[in-house]
């Protein structure tokens, strides 16, 4: 158990029978009364997000997750099959479990999978990954740099906004945290 003031972004906490990942936290000290810790937490099972306030004196049950490295091997129907890098055991995960992270599944790429009591709870892709632009809109002549980002479709099926100089066939680096364009990769 930890004090609510020790909560940090990324921690997993238990409230009742459910596990939550702290997405945001802010320590608030009002003019009157006791301090509070305002958090935005994500339910690990159904991925819903909610706001929750803790009194600064409140105790919170911190959960320690086991993290292991897995390599994505192949897609088998609706299951993404991963191989444990230490034991070589295979772990199938459903498309529903991965959600939008399914866009970031590339064969032979290494991912961090977090487990709680032997069950997978979360998967983390590398911070940035490279993809090929399959289709990009034509850029608008005379548009300013800030307003000239255009839609593009990547080889993984995802659509993102890219600068006007990025055309079909270009390889770009994408931030996996928010799906945003980082840079064009020269090969």
Q: Which of 79, 103, 124 is the last residue of a domain?
A: 124
Q: Are residues 98 and 150 in the same domain?
A: no
> What is the per-residue pLDDT across 87-145, written as a single tens digit (0 to 9) for each?
999 999 988 888 888 899 999 999 999 888 888 888 889 999 999 999 988 766 665 55
The CATH number covering residue 81 comes to: 2.40.50.140
User: In this structure, are 95 and 133 located in the same domain?
Assistant: no
Q: pTM of the full predicted structure?
A: 0.72
Tell me the three state secondary structure of residue 103: helix
If asked whether residues 45 and 97 sit together in one domain, one would say: no
The span from the CA of 81 to the CA of 93, in Å, is: 6
Q: Using one digit for the tens of pLDDT, what is the confidence trace for 9-64?
A: 878 899 988 888 888 889 888 888 888 899 999 888 777 889 999 988 889 998 88
Tokens of 43: 């339910």
Based on the structure, what is the number of domains in the chain?
A: 3
First to last CA, the chain: 50
In the chain, % of residues over pLDDT 90: 44
Residue-wise pLDDT tens digits, 146-168: 567 889 999 999 999 999 888 99
Amino acid 187: pLDDT: 62
pLDDT of residue 89: 94
Residue 50 to residues 27, 39, 135, Cα–Cα distance (Å) = 17, 8, 37
CATH of the domain at 24: 2.30.30.30
* 114 and 134 part of one domain: no
- State whether 73 and 59 are in the same domain: no
Grade residue 78 by pLDDT with cuts at 50, 70 and 90: confident
pLDDT, one tens digit per residue, over 34-47 is 888 999 998 887 77
Of 185, 72, 71, 85, which is closest to residue 128 (Cα–Cα)? 185
Q: Which domain holds residue 150?
A: 128-185
112 and 157 in a single domain? The answer is: no
What is the predicted pLDDT for the residue at 182? 93
CA distances from 8 to 24, 42, 123, 137, 168 (A): 8, 13, 19, 41, 41
């Amino acid at each position: 158990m930890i004090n609510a003031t020790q909560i940090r972004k990324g921690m997993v906490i238990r409230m009742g029978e459910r596990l939550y990942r702290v997405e945001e936290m802010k320590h608030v000290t009002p003019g009157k009364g006791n301090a509070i810790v305002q958090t935005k937490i994500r339910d690990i099972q159904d991925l819903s997000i909610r706001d929750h306030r803790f009194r600064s004196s409140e105790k919170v049950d911190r959960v320690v997750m086991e993290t292991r490295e897995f390599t994505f091997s192949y897609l088998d129907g609706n299951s993404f099959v991963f191989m444990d890098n230490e034991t070589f055991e295979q772990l199938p995960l459903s498309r529903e479990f991965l959600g939008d992270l399914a866009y970031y599944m590339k064969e032979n790429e290494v991912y961090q999978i977090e487990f709680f009591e032997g069950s997978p709870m979360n998967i983390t892709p590398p911070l940035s990954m490279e993809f090929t632009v399959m289709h990009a809109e034509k850029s608008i002549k005379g548009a300013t740099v800030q307003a000239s980002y255009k839609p593009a479709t990547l080889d993984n099926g995802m659509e993102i906004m890219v600068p006007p100089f990025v055309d079909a066939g270009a390889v770009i680096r994408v931030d996996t945290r928010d799906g945003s364009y980082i840079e064009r990769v020269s090969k």
